[in-house]
Structure 1
Amino acid sequence: IFILRLKARNLVQPRLLQSPAAAAAAASVTAAYAVITATDEKTRDIVATDDFDIKKALPANYSKKFVVEIDAVNGEKDKLESRLAEVRDENSKLKDKLDLANLSYGELAKELESVQNQLAAEGSRCQKLESQIAAARKRLESAGSLENELEVLRQQISQVEQTMTTTQRQKSGGVWKWVAGSAEASDDE
């Protein structure tokens, strides 16, 4: 507990000067001193002087209580300081974990971007393959129609060949048919 002791003030009134402004200022100063003096007298009644020992004025059990309370407050302060140290350590560990998580997140973000780029490349490759497959299907479908046309052409060729062979057989009977044919031809004439 701190006790303030007031200094004894000189209560001499200030001299008044001759001007009205100075007189007004002096009056306000006088009023201020009067308020301070009244307050000082009340304070002097309440506050003990330095010559009087506070511990001697307090009862013995009160000082023991005071010491016990101080010890309790100091103990609580120590507990709070240790708890604060624990919280700071935990905070430091959490910051380290957060930094590690941020680093891991950065690496994972880069890896994700790489995978997305690879996926986009594979997607474009798949589109190219799908267009190639569609072109191959069209060729296969046209190949089927070409096979049908080829079969029709083969049949036509085979019919033409049969017609030619029968016509050739009829026209060529060999030398004997020629001889016999010329005899018949000469008979007809």
Structure 2
Amino acid sequence: MKPQNKYSFFLILVFTLLLSFDGLTQSKEDPFTAKKAIYLELGGSSGVYGFNYGTIFHQKGKLKLNASAGFSLLIRETSNSSTFWLPAIPFELTALYGKSNHHLEIGFGVLPYLDAGSSFDSETLELKDKVVFDTAIPLRIGYRYQKPEGGFFFRIGYTPFFNAPVGSREEWTFMPIFGGISFGKSF
């Protein structure tokens, strides 16, 4: 099969699957009136912890699309006993699939953050502290509990990370064992 035919076949297959999902959502769902949420995330796409704000920006049937942003501040000590307060700002896009309160949540994000470390100065033969910009790409698959009319918000998920080759890192790395849990309120 020629490469053009493979791409055409793939596009037709994806288009057909999207149409079939639309056909499955024929039953009327109550639209989400509580599209916004504030929550504390432990682990997850925030790294260690994060205070987040999210909003559902699109909904059709059982499918909802959500965007969120947050803030985290971590303390890091270097080998020179210097202490740094380092910010991290997680951004995430997720798709929610489900009816009423219970949803499958799948998505990805970007986690830019500052990291501290030490480097050896060959001229003075000393360790010097440095702060570098770094970034990670978290993935997410999990469960989300959110009522259409608002109230208690909960989610739990598997969130592996890809660390991008920026800062002090020279190649991509993968952290497969990571998860997170979130509690908050939707309104």
TM-score (normalised: structure 1): 0.17
| Structure with more strand by fraction | 2
Which one has the largest radius of gyration?
A: 1
TM-score (normalised: structure 2): 0.17
